[in-house]
Structure formats: structure tokens, C-alpha cells
Structure 1
């Protein structure tokens, strides 16, 4: 009788359906002082709220270049990265020569970055050429900021040998400017960004405009660059428009991501976009039209399915 009873218990146990485990997705972003981290955090909340069986978490990383490696190795499920970095990774050019990331695919272009060169008032720096002989942060090692800064500088005849190079993340750059440890710093990030906002509350800052020729030279070096006018009063004390360059930021995944999951993420991103805009104003630029005009690599098939469903005009370059 005891054996029979045990058999009944075991049979009943085996008959109970297993509870499906919640799958946690990793979103590679950047430093906490930029826009990637709050955008990634907002997207993580949206995934957990609207996609059954999934949760997500935003991870702090070294940003664009590092993020492409994380996607390639599938150490992260999603990643935000600058369009030029994404294009170079996909094509095996530039910083990715000899290490092509051919399995990266796009979900959407989320918002444009602005290259922002910041100095303190009274520093004597009023132009790009004034960086010569100064101490300058070009961004965190392996970041899209450094790639953008280097392309801008070298296309205008300025090399790393012309100034003292510091490779600091956004918060470190702001702190070093505040403390007088550097003379200027680059940000390539969606404005306004928290680290510059914070710096502007304690120091009188200035943003350096680039000439039309300097912008044209940069676009000649990196076709994903575009002229960008940063509005006056974006930061405290900066009362004039800053003329600079802009670069799209792309939400990417590995081609191996299941089509249904990529479809659901794309659908949530665009149909619940007000939730992301409530977290950061950069998401005001997250539109289907921006994705169609700005994305530099093919879309994941799951994302493509969503855009086809809503009858978006999809350029051939976004199809494999």
C-alpha cells in the first residue's frame, strides 16, 4: 500500500505543469552619466511590463564599441550604440577592421547624439583648433564618443599628438572639468545629458561650435554624421545655438534572437513610446520615420515584420 501511495504521489507530481521561468534580458547601455542608461532602463521596464515571460535589466558598459562585442558574443541581448560604430562593426571597417560583427541587426534608431565639446568660460578655448596643447578628454576607452571625437579631430587636421589625451567617461569628464584637471571634454550623447546639466549648475560652461568647413570635413570622413544645431538654453548659461554634428543611436540585437521576441520588442518600443518619453526627452525622436531614414544596417526579421505590418516605407538597405 505504501508503494502504491508513493506511486500516486509521484504520478500527481509529474502531472503538474512546470511553471515557465521568467527569462531575463540584458540591455547593454553606457555610463550612468549619459542617455543610454536611462533609455535602456526605460526599455527594460517596458519589456517587463508588456512582454509576457520576459523581464529585462539595463547594464552599465563602456558604450558603443564594447556593446558590439557583447552582442556578437551574445553576452547581452540588446545594446544601444552609435550608428557609425554599428556600421563599422557590421562591415568590418574602421575600428572593427579584421573583427567584423556580421551578426548584428537593428531593431530601431532611437534618437540622435550630438557631439558636444565643453570647456569652462575663461579657458581660452573657443574653437576646435584651440584644443592644441590643452588637456582634453575624448571619452571613455572603446566608446562611441572617442570614435566620433577622433574622426572629427583627424578630419580637421588635429591628431592625438597635438594635445594631452585623457580617456574619461561622462561623469569623470565633468568632474575633471569642474576640478580644473582638464581644459575641455567631448560628449557624444543625446542632449540634454545629466553630467553636463550638473556641471553647468556649479561652473560657467561654454559649448564650442564648429565651423561649416569643420562639419563638412567630418561628414566627409564619416557619412553617418549630419549637421546638428543644439538649441540655445539646453544647458544653464549657454544662451546661443551650438553648431555641431549629430549621429543616430541604434538599438541592436544578435541575428540569432528569435523573430517573435524581436517583433514584440519592436512593437512595444513604438506602441508604448510615451512611457519612454516620460523617462527621457531624447525619446521624442524615437519614430518610425527616424528609423527608416537613419538606420545604417539591416533590420532583424522580427523588427521588419512589425514595420511591414504598419505599412512603413522600408528602404531596400534595411532588408537583408
Structure 2
């Protein structure tokens, strides 16, 4: 079945699917669940594939599939349209969706957190040959701020604003490319730098760092976080990408991070939320083998402040039952 066919089948159903069977309950009718992830060069896509595999194997009657998308903004829009049942999302994009602001103006989405997954990190990527050493050095350069509809683009434009640059006037060119496309453009001499928000390591950046004759450089930008938080709220925080995370990365990178969540709409049936979380939580070691960022799916990260948006009531009950304090 093609992705287009899957979307046609799924379109228009408010919660997408009938409730999945719980232990001791009669088997539900066949259930289709689409999971919106991101681009193939990021972390959402492989982790989403791992989750879909778990759900399809362990929930009777469920067939879970992953959708390649532009990223978090697009995922929240798809969720609001009823075209997917689960999404991976950066907290900032889901906060905007719930509030109905920016790209969700007039179209709020009743996003509810199911789980806090891991940290997403803003990575401003260039090479030593480009001669870019700071965010202000990007002025007049050819950059990419991420795929349309991605949380990378959302976060990149907020960072550019905080630096004091104009997204429309201060660059020789501003492309909107995926990380894989951006890496290829740098290799081909068509781009000087790009921004990508993801877990680490990211395959596209690893690819660039491993390219012959390339010395990878990640630009520090944590100093701009207070200005961004002042305007957009406390969803961002500083972290460090240690030297050696990527081939050729010689120094620690002081950057801006945001949490990722697994989310659904508020009308997803409670029993379905519970079963999804049971399977995901019991399979967390398998998810960690799919990608290293799966190790960030931990009990202590299940915090209301990190989730950013309201919990689905069944998710809140599940995590309290596991011993999470949430506060």
C-alpha cells in the first residue's frame, strides 16, 4: 500500500482508529495507525519506525505505519486535520498549535502529550573552509533554515531574529532544505551553512563530517537563548554537544535545545493511549537500539513542564502509575 493510499484511508477520522485491544478484552477490528515523523535524515523517522514495529507486533489487530513529513509544524497540522493518529513533535511547535498562534493562527489543534521522549538540539552546521565562526558571520552567506513545515525552520527563524539578522534581507540566499539536501549542497559548494534541529548524532551531519577534505564546524549560539525565551516562553534551554559527537568536530558546541514529545489529539480513546504507552514503555530498550536518542525515553523525563502542552488524561494516569512525579 502506498503512502498516498494510506493517507486516503486515514483522512477525516477524528481519532483515526478504533480502540486497540487491551489484555482480556475481545480483539478489536483491524486498526490502522499513521505516525507522523520527519525527514529521513533526522531522528524522528527511524524512531517512528521502531515504534510502529513495536505497536504492530504487540497490539492485536493494529497496523502502524510511519509518514515522512517536513517535521513538527507539519505533524501538528496533520494531527489537527485527522490525517495521522500519533506525532513526534518539538514542544515549541505543539505549544503554538494549542495556542493557535503563528502558523496555527485561527486553527488551533487540541494536542495532548503522551510522553516526553528526548532532547532536540539546534545545530548550526558549517565547515572550516567557509570561515564562519559566529552567528553574526552568517550575514551575507548562503544558508538553509530547514524544510518548510519543520520545527527546524520555526526555531531557526527565532534564533536569527535574536541574533539581530533579517531572514529576508541579510543573507545572500536562504534555502529551505532538508538536512540531507543541505549536506549535499555544502559538498557541492552551493551552501555555506545550515540549521537543523534533532537528536544527536544526526545522520546527515555525520555524513558531512565524514566527507573527505571536510572539517566540520558547529556554531555556538547558547548566548541568544535568554532573548528568545523572553519573547516565546521557557521552552528552550542550553545544552552542550560534546566534541567528537561528529567526525571532525573538535570543540564542544554550546547550543539551544528543546524537548520532544509523542503526542495525539485529545479525543484519542483512553484505552488506546494506555495500550500504546504500555507497549512503548516496555519496548524502550528496543527503541534505544534503533537510535541512541531512544535512551532519552526515561521515567525521570516525564515532567509536565517539559511536555509543554497538557497531558492526555490517560497518559497522565499511566505515568503516575509508573511512579513519575510529573511536577
> TM-score under structure 1 normalisation?
0.89
**2-side partners of 1:297 and 1:49: how far apart?**
29
| 1:86 and 2:98 aligned | no
Matching of residues 175-190 of structure 1 within 5 Å? 175-190=184-199
Helix, strand or coil at the partner of 2:302: helix
Residue aligning to 1:217: 227
| Count of residue pairs brought into register by the alignment | 296
Q: CA deviation at 1:111?
A: 0.8
Matching of residues 1-320 of structure 1 within 5 Å? 21-101=29-109, 103-160=110-167, 161-163=169-171, 164-202=173-211, 203-210=214-221, 212=223, 214-222=224-232, 223-292=234-303, 293-315=305-327
Which ranges in structure 2 are unaligned for 5 or more consecutive residues?
A: 1-25
**2-side partners of 1:57 and 1:224: how far apart?**
29
Partners of 1:137 and 1:168 within 8 A in 2: yes
Q: CA deviation at 1:133?
A: 0.4
Which ranges in structure 1 are unaligned for 5 or more consecutive residues?
A: 1-17, 316-320
Partner deviation per Cα, 1:1-51 (whole Å, 9 max, x = no partner)? xxxxxxxxxxxxxxxxx9964312100001100001001001101111222
Q: What is the Cα-based RMSD across aligned positions, in Å?
A: 1.6
Q: CA deviation at 1:211?
A: 5.3
**2-side partners of 1:226 and 1:211: how far apart?**
8
Partners of 1:27 and 1:78 within 8 A in 2: yes
1:19/1:232 CA distance change after superposition, 3 Å: closer
Helix, strand or coil at the partner of 1:106: strand
Partner deviation per Cα, 1:139-168 (whole Å, 9 max, x = no partner)? 001110000000111022111111121000
**2-side partners of 1:177 and 1:63: how far apart?**
22
Helix, strand or coil at the partner of 1:278: helix
Helix, strand or coil at the partner of 1:48: helix
1:25/1:211 CA distance change after superposition, 3 Å: closer
**2-side partners of 1:21 and 1:122: how far apart?**
58
> TM-score under structure 2 normalisation?
0.87
Partners of 1:210 and 1:244 within 8 A in 2: yes
Helix, strand or coil at the partner of 1:49: helix
Greater Rg over alpha carbons, structure: 1
